[in-house]
Structure 1
Amino acid sequence: MIDYFVALLPALFLGFMSIVLVAQGGDDRQKTLGTLGGAFLFSALATPFIDVHWTTKTLLISFLSGLILGFGQYLQILCLKVLGVSRTMPLTTAGQIIFMCLGGIILFGEMNHGLALVFALSSIALLTLGVVFISKTEKTQEAAAENVDWKRGTILLVISTACLVAYLLIVQGFGLDGRSVILPQSAGYFLVGLIATIPALSPQLGKEDNRWSLLTLRQLIPGMMWGAAILLTQISSSLLGVAVAFPLSQMGVIIQTFGGILILHETRTRREMRWTVIGVAIMVIGVIMVGVARSFS
């Protein structure tokens, strides 16, 4: 039972992390460096208190997965500005769970037979249906005034989602312990944060190098929340398997979606709000079905 409790803790951190990230203010450059820097700081502080066993293989693979994770998080932060928290997070969550479940089934042989497979595939279908409802838009003057760039947002969403899935599959595929990967992995994504926010390499974020500011420092808070979620997700993946631990960690989508609307005041028409509620409800059922599938495997 304690294993499932640990698997649910990241949902709490991730649920509030995106909301705090946006509410703190700052531009994308400050948010990126602050978030990745905060997660690196958390990893450095946590490592002396956890049991780690480093080998050359662990250090190299963890660092590589960190580069991928950092790039994915950078693109997701850009996507938050384009689509908003209440759209980006449920869509990327559903995409991550779908591909993580497929990865668990295909790559690691999890839930790949009998009723376990039936429930796993059903959960993927429900998650996909949830995405359809959440991404539905109404062509009204109110919706048009918001001017959401779905084309750019979708590109950012797909690439970032793929990266956020790949990093954990790589760690699991090489059989690395979640505790041991956390620090070298954080070094990888912090390096991405430092490079991606250099003004000469990211002119689309502005010419001024405003990274070293109070706003960046404030973004260390959501960064540390994100770092805690990563550590707990990787530990629970070692205990329960990636196909179960990861979906449970993403239940924070409820907080992210409605927090974006109620706290950050992201707009919805009445009909779009109804579709969003239906989509999130369907996604929650899909996540629960992943746990049911695990019980049959």
Structure 2
Amino acid sequence: MQGILYALVPIFAWGAVGLVANKFGGDANQQTLGMTLGAFVFALIVFLFRMPTLTWQIFLIGFIGGLLWAIGQFGQFKSMKYLGVSIASPLSAGSQLVIGGLLGVFAFHEWTKQIQFILGFIAMACLVVGLYFSAKRDPENAVVEEERNYTKGLIALTYSTLGYVLYVILFNNLAVLWFNVHFDTLTIILPMSVGMIFGALVMGRFKIKMEKYVYLNMIDGVMFGVGNIFMLMAARAAGDAIAFSFSQLGVIVAIIGGILFLGEKKTKKELVYLGIGTVLFVTGAILLAIVKSKG
């Protein structure tokens, strides 16, 4: 029970990041830099309390991972501007699960049992169909269509997904396979946060306006850090499968929040499409968690 309670924190901490960032305002460059600065402050405090041992290998991997993460987050903020939070969030999370899952299977042979392949591909099918319904539009929603740019949004989601997936693969697979480096979340978050700041500056071409939006969005970075800590605590108390599946439910927070708090307009048809997509997404994420637990 304690592990499940811990797992509830990332749902709201991560699920609300897009809502908070879009409520505070600013462009994607300012939102990303603000979030990375907040993550750095949080990581520095954790580091000073814990004082973990940092080798140059861990620092380098953390830095590169943070750089990749910043690309992913910048693209996600961009896609939210073009598509809206309620559409961009499920598309982003779902595409990460599908592409990351397929790479894990074919590149790193993470599935070895027949039951894993059966459940895994059912999960992938749920996610793909869920993505379709999450993004499905109603032509009658003319007002929203004028405010959206689906081409630019999907382009942003493409490089966002690439950045996120490479960041996860680096930490979960390549760090051990290529560099024989082992670490835990509390050790890697400081060098990662340094890489995140550098990545945010690169994505902004070192020309980001240091306005109030940057400082307000530091709260996003603290939320991200808190979610990381509780994700680790949930994994220790209830196992990786529970922690993983619960973390994906943050998409529900983003979808509901985008509609209720950011005023993203949906027709009745689009609400039905989004409901179907959300159910399929959650089903696919839970099935993938079960697959992980079978390994």
| Superposition TM-score tier, normalisation by shorter sequence | 0.7 to 0.9
Identity %: 29
Q: Give the equivalent residue in structure 1 for 2:140.
A: 140
Alignment of structure 1 residues 169-180 onto 2, 5 Å? 169-173=169-173, 174-175=175-176, 176-177=182-183, 178-180=185-187
The C-alpha deviation readout for 1:169-210, integer Å capped at 9, x for no partner, is: 10112133222211101100111223433565xxxxxxxx63
Q: Give the equivalent residue in structure 2 for 1:164.
A: 164
Deviating more after overlay: 229-238 vs 11-20: 229-238
Q: Does 1:99 align with 2:85?
A: no
- 1:269 CA displacement: 1.7
- 1:104 CA displacement: 3.5
Work out the CA distance in 1 between the residues paired with 2:10 and 2:157: 21
**Matched letter for residue 266 of structure 1:** E
- 1:141 CA displacement: 5.5
- 1:267 CA displacement: 1.3
Work out the CA distance in 2 between the residues paired with 1:149 and 1:55: 45
Work out the CA distance in 2 between the residues paired with 1:3 and 1:161: 28
8 Å CA contact 1:17, 1:222 repeated in 2: yes
Q: Would the alpha carbon gap of residues 5 and 106 (structure 1) be closer, same or farther in structure 2, given more than 3 Å must change?
A: farther
2:255 to 250, 254, 257: 257
Alignment of structure 1 residues 3-18 onto 2, 5 Å? 6-18=6-18
Secondary structure at the aligned position of 2:248 is classed as helix
8 Å CA contact 1:36, 1:189 repeated in 2: yes
Q: Give the equivalent residue in structure 2 for 1:206.
A: none
**Matched letter for residue 196 of structure 2:** Y
Q: Would the alpha carbon gap of residues 137 and 77 (structure 1) be closer, same or farther in structure 2, given more than 3 Å must change?
A: same
Work out the CA distance in 1 between the residues paired with 2:125 and 2:253: 22
Q: Give the equivalent residue in structure 2 for 1:183.
A: 190
Q: Would the alpha carbon gap of residues 56 and 114 (structure 1) be closer, same or farther in structure 2, given more than 3 Å must change?
A: same
**Matched letter for residue 55 of structure 1:** T
Q: Give the equivalent residue in structure 1 for 2:282.
A: 284
**Matched letter for residue 186 of structure 2:** R
Q: Would the alpha carbon gap of residues 235 and 193 (structure 1) be closer, same or farther in structure 2, given more than 3 Å must change?
A: farther
TM-score normalized by structure 2? Answer: 0.87
RMSD of equivalent CA atoms: 2.6
Alignment of structure 1 residues 59-70 onto 2, 5 Å? 59-70=59-70
- 1:105 CA displacement: 3.1
The C-alpha deviation readout for 1:102-143, integer Å capped at 9, x for no partner, is: 344344443431212211221111011100101111222625
**Matched letter for residue 278 of structure 1:** I
Q: Would the alpha carbon gap of residues 163 and 105 (structure 1) be closer, same or farther in structure 2, given more than 3 Å must change?
A: same
Q: Would the alpha carbon gap of residues 107 and 48 (structure 1) be closer, same or farther in structure 2, given more than 3 Å must change?
A: farther
Q: Give the equivalent residue in structure 2 for 1:223.
A: 221
Secondary structure at the aligned position of 1:99 is classed as helix
Q: What are the ranges of 5 or more consecutive residues in structure 1 without an aligned counterpart? A: 201-208
Q: What are the ranges of 5 or more consecutive residues in structure 2 without an aligned counterpart? A: 177-181
Q: Give the equivalent residue in structure 2 for 1:54.
A: 54
Q: Give the equivalent residue in structure 1 for 2:110.
A: 110
Q: Would the alpha carbon gap of residues 121 and 284 (structure 1) be closer, same or farther in structure 2, given more than 3 Å must change?
A: same
Secondary structure at the aligned position of 1:54 is classed as coil
Q: Would the alpha carbon gap of residues 56 and 253 (structure 1) be closer, same or farther in structure 2, given more than 3 Å must change?
A: same
